[in-house]
Amino acid sequence: MTAFGSSTATLPQTSDLPQHVAIIMDGNGRWARQRLLPRAAGHKAGLGAVRAVVKGCAERGIGYLTLFAFSSENWRRPADEVGFLTRLFLSTLDREIERLHRNNVRFRVVGATEAFGDVICERIRAAETLTAGNTGLTLTVAANYGGRWDVLQAVERLRQSGHQGPIDESALAAQLSMNYAPEPDLFIRTGGEARISNFLLWQLAYTEFHFTDTLWPDFGDAALAEAFVSYARRERRFGRTSEQLQQSD
Ligand code: IPE
Ligand code: IPE
Ligand code: MG
């Protein structure tokens, strides 16, 4: 069992503010190209947006923020870009972790991180351990993450645990890499594409989607606030009719 309900098994409690926000941070390369800069400059500029969004979510009392930093398909990029992103991840982690800790942020990483090597894995473990007892925002970075990988590793873990009989939703959900978080209420993708790109496939079953053309380095508190306004206007029916919702108010 996970600590949180499943949107398909039981009706979730919702409010005007999302409890869990998941973001595909896209458009760094195009931001750089517009300025005749190398793609790496776009990734660096994207860090400013990461800081703004972490701060914005923490200040609003959001419980969980999940950022897609590197997909299992991003290895298909040129080796120098992959190398740059890996180094940027490590240097940012080293530079920011103390500040996150001071701000009561619990830091987690999900994905097949062993592919990044021992040094990064060790630093991730240290950062997670340092911040494990924090009670503010849970910030998850998805690195070498794929939604299909996640479902498959959950099935594999179940198999290895000797699970008997049919697999039900809660048994599978309990083995997903984000079993410590509720399903996302709000999904944001910047950069104008309207696709999931193998992000949290299982958990996005009833998530509200917000797509914006804003490129990730330009995304800041105003853009976040706009996404929250849009979210607050949604009617989350989870299969019911609008009339049923009005009757239960
Ligand atoms: C998102 O920006 C960052 C990563 C995928 C690591 P992109 O690098 O995909 O930027 P575009 O889509 O090429 O503009
Ligand atoms: C999705 O962005 C992955 C991350 C933001 C980490 P991509 O830029 O890799 O997605 P596609 O290739 O356009 O679908
Ligand atoms: Mg992209």
Residue 4's pLDDT is 80
Ligand 3 centroid from CA 245, angstroms: 38
Ligand 2 centroid from CA 160, angstroms: 32
Report which ligand 1 atom has the smallest distance to the Cα of 30: 14
Question: Does residue 249 carry a pLDDT above 90?
Answer: no
Q: Which active-site residues does the annotation give?
A: 26, 74
Query: For 199-237, what is each residue's pLDDT tens digit?
Result: 999 999 999 999 999 999 999 999 999 999 999 999 999
Residue 248's pLDDT is 79
* Whole-structure pTM value: 0.97
Write b or e for each residue in 91-124: b if 16 or more Cβ atoms lie within 10 A of its Cβ, otherwise e.
Answer: ebbeebbeebbebebbbbbbbebeebeeebeebb
Which residues have CB under 6 Å of ligand 1?
25-30, 70, 74, 85, 191, 216
Ligand 1 centroid from CA 23, angstroms: 13
Report which ligand 2 atom has the smallest distance to the Cα of 29: 8
Show me where the domains of the chain are located: 20-233
56's tokens: 């914005």
Residue 236's pLDDT is 96
Report which ligand 1 atom has the smallest distance to the Cα of 69: 6
CATH number of 20-233: 3.40.1180.10
pLDDT bin (cut points 50, 70, 90) of residue 3 is low
166-169, long-range: CB < 8 A, 24+ apart = 169/6, 169/8, 169/9
| Residue 238, φ and ψ in degrees, nearest 5 | 50, 40
Contact 241, 50 (CB under 8 A): no
In this prediction, what percent of the chain has a pLDDT beyond 70? 98
Amino acid code (one letter) for 104: N
Residue 5's pLDDT is 80
Instruction: Report the C-alpha gap between 228 and 233 in whole angstroms.
Output: 9
Ligand 2 centroid from CA 245, angstroms: 36
Q: Which ligand is nearest to the CA of 70?
A: 2
pLDDT bin (cut points 50, 70, 90) of residue 1 is very low
Question: Does residue 71 carry a pLDDT above 50?
Answer: yes
Instruction: Report the C-alpha gap between 198 and 50 in whole angstroms.
Output: 21
- Of all protein residues, whose CA lies closest to atom 3 belonging to ligand 1? 26
Q: Which ligand is nearest to the CA of 39?
A: 1
**Can you say whether residue 55 is alpha, beta or left, with left for phi > 0 and alpha for psi between -120 and 50 degrees?**
alpha
Query: For 99-154, what is each residue's pLDDT tens digit?
Result: 999 999 999 999 999 999 999 999 999 999 999 999 999 999 999 999 999 999 99
Amino acid code (one letter) for 185: D
